[in-house]
A and B are shown apart, each in its own frame.
Chain A
């Protein structure tokens, strides 16, 4: 942990210094702030979930105004390999993630100590601490908020689905025929808008709970500062001799699952595929960016050293030439 913090501090300090070389007169905007202290995480205790889907219904109800209302017919797409994604006539589908269903209940049947057991697991966006969907979105449509929520701005998203491709769980889902791309080059760029759980960011801003947490009759989920949630997850795991998922996955997420059975068993026992994410181990997708950012701090120093070395060598050579000419 200490090593991790010092590495990040080094990276931030070094990059800031490198930036200052070229932009010393540019003030940092006040909106640039560290987010760690304010991040909220959710704890999902799998033991408590009875699969009643009250959370799924509540999610659909409170987020209905955010759901896409696509214009038909859809623009003709070029080239023809670009396929439309239309869920508008399947709005009631609840057994997977769709643009109209941001949370679903995944069922896992596992055999533990020779006995078959079934678990139901609420699945939605993990809200990663360093989300590749937001880091790699070319327009800034997918973004992480200071409170740890990762959301996609439907007014800006062009529906290129890059976020879904780089997400280790392939969470965002596309709806064609809606969004900004219709006003730009609808046939040639973009293909709709990507949708996923925004952890009821607007309700949280009003001091309310996310709908899925509020309506759950079994209190499966809770939300709080991440360090407290992680501490509680560990306390439960220790108490039940259980397992945790989401704390370290993809470098850390703001959705922490606690289970009495190992997650590799649950992962093997669930149906996976489009809109049905797995529970597999996930390495930090953005680790390469951290490491190469370090190289970006060192590279200018190497460049300066090389130029200074060349200057000294040239000066020596010039002196020698001068002496030879005399």
Chain B
């Protein structure tokens, strides 16, 4: 088991940085789905002119969604195969996972709704729209609180 632990765990730091970067992109392009970037001069910032183009932010958000799904699948399977033998998830991690699950599930329904021959009822459409935003806001808030209190995602099994 020790040998397995020694052989694994490479690149975790870079993976964390990539996850934070990916989530920042998703949050930015997600909020960009609301017509606020032009109104509040964000798209006037040099280099951010593209953020007022709803199709561009939508494209990036979708692309990020695909990468996020791939990354989450990798992390889940990696945890089940090796990670759970080396560390366990903290309570704050489980809180974040629940919120992340909410974001992903509502996001998948949002993507399904945008397919050409899929129609959701008005009430359900509104529910997934607002729930997607709500889960994201809650996730960001939880992330901020856990950052302040230095609550980590994982703890070693020996801790």
**Residues of A near any B CB (own CB < 8 A):** 8, 11-12, 15-16, 18-19, 21-23, 26, 29, 31-36, 79, 81-82, 129-130, 135-140, 143-146, 153, 156, 160-162, 165-166, 189, 251-252, 285-286, 288-290, 292-293, 295-296, 298-304, 306-308, 310-311, 314-315, 317-319, 321-322, 325
Tell me the B residues contacting A by CB distance below 8 Å: 3-4, 6-8, 33-36, 39-41, 54-55, 58-59, 62-63, 65-67, 69-78, 81-82, 101, 104-105, 108-109, 111-126, 128-130, 133
Residues of B within 8 A of A21 (CB): 73
Please provide the 7 A-B residue pairs with the shortest distance between their CB atoms, ordered closest to farther: A303-B73, A31-B121, A299-B70, A307-B77, A160-B35, A303-B74, A140-B126
Q: Nearest-CB distance from A10 to chain B (Å)?
A: 11
Given that A22-B105, A308-B81 are known contacts, is A296 also in contact with B65, CB under 8 Å in the complex?
A: yes
Q: Does A285 lie within 8 Å of B55, measured CB to CB?
A: yes
Question: In the complex the two chains form, is B78's CB within 8 Å of A318's CB?
Answer: no
B69 touches A314 (CB 8 A): no
Q: A15–B67 Cα gap in the complex (Å)?
A: 14
- B78, A311: Cβ atoms under 8 Å? yes
Q: Which chain A residue lies CB-closest to B68?
A: A299
**Is the beta-carbon distance between B115 and A8 smaller than 8 angstroms?**
yes
- Across the interface, B119 reaches (CB within 8 A) one of A137, A146, A165, namely A146
Q: Which residue of A lies closest to B129 (CB)?
A: A140
Inter-chain pairs besides A18-B69, A165-B35, 20 sampled, C-beta below 8 Å = A11-B115, A15-B108, A23-B101, A136-B54, A138-B33, A138-B34, A138-B129, A166-B54, A166-B55, A290-B116, A292-B66, A296-B62, A296-B66, A296-B111, A299-B66, A303-B71, A304-B73, A307-B74, A318-B4, A318-B7
A34 neighbours in B (Cβ, 8 Å): 117-119
Contact in complex: A82, B39 (CB < 8 Å): yes
Contact of B74 among A12, A306, A315 (CB under 8 A): A306
Question: Cβ of B124 and Cβ of A32 under 8 Å apart?
Answer: yes
Q: Do the beta carbons of B105 and A12 come within 8 Å of each other?
A: no
B35–A162 touching, CB < 8 Å: yes
**What are 29 contact pairs spanning A and B, CB under 8 A?**
A8-B115, A11-B115, A12-B118, A15-B115, A32-B119, A35-B117, A35-B119, A129-B116, A130-B117, A136-B54, A138-B129, A139-B129, A140-B122, A140-B130, A143-B125, A146-B119, A160-B35, A165-B54, A290-B115, A296-B62, A296-B66, A303-B71, A304-B73, A308-B81, A311-B82, A314-B7, A314-B82, A321-B6, A325-B3
Q: Which residues of A contact B112 (CB under 8 A)?
A: 12, 15-16, 19, 32
With A79-B40, A317-B7 already in contact, the answer to whether A299 and B69 are too (CB < 8 A) is yes
Contacts of A145 in B (CB 8 A): 119
A139 CA to B134 CA, complexed, in Å: 12
Q: How far is the CA of A301 from the CA of B108 in the complex (A)?
A: 16
Q: Which residues of A contact B66 (CB under 8 A)?
A: 292, 295-296, 298-299
**Nearest chain B CB to A317's CB is how many angstroms away?**
4
Q: Are A293 and B54 in contact (CB under 8 A)?
A: no
B32 vs chain A, min Cβ distance (A): 10
Instruction: Tell me if A135 and B70 are in contact (CB < 8 A).
Output: no
**Once the chains bind, are B120 and A32 in contact (CB under 8 Å)?**
yes
Give the one of B81, B108, B128 with max A CB within 10 A. Answer: B108
Closest Cβ of chain B to A150, distance in Å, is 10
Residues of B within 8 A of A137 (CB): 129
B120 near A303: Cβ-Cβ < 8 Å: no
User: Does the CB pair A23–B114 fall under 8 Å?
Assistant: no
A157 to chain B minimum Cβ distance, whole angstroms, is: 12
CB pair B116–A286 under 8 Å, yes or no, is yes
Q: Are A143 and B116 in contact (CB under 8 A)?
A: no
- Give the nearest-CB partner of B125 in chain A: A140
The chain B residue with its CB closest to the CB of A148 is: B119
User: Looking at B6, B113, B115, B123, which has the most chain A CB atoms within 10 Å of its CB?
Assistant: B115
- Chain B residues with Cβ below 8 Å from A140 are 122, 125-126, 128-130
